Amino acid sequence: MVLLKGRTRLGPRPFRTCCMREAIRHLKSADPVLGRIIREIGPYRIEYSPPNYQTLAKAIVLQQLSGKVAATIFRRLLAVAGDGELTPERLLALDPRELRPLGLSRQKIAYLREAAERVLARQLNFAELARLPDEEVVRRLTAIRGIGLWTAQMFLIFALRRPDVMPSQDLGIRAAVRRAYGFARLPAPREVEALAERWKPYRSVASWYLWRSLEDQAGL
* Active-site residue, 170 included: yes
Sign of the torsion angle spanned by Cα atoms 62, 64, 67, 69 = negative
DSSP 84: S
Q: Where are the strands (E) in 1-143, listed by range?
A: 2-3, 9-10
Within 10 A of 44 (CB to CB), how many other CB atoms are there?
Answer: 18
Within 8 A by CB and 6+ apart from 165, the residues are 134, 153, 156, 157, 203, 204, 207
SS3 9: strand
Q: How many whole angstroms separate alpha carbon 101 and alpha carbon 77?
A: 10
31, 95, 134, 170: the active-site residue? 170
Catalytic residues: 170
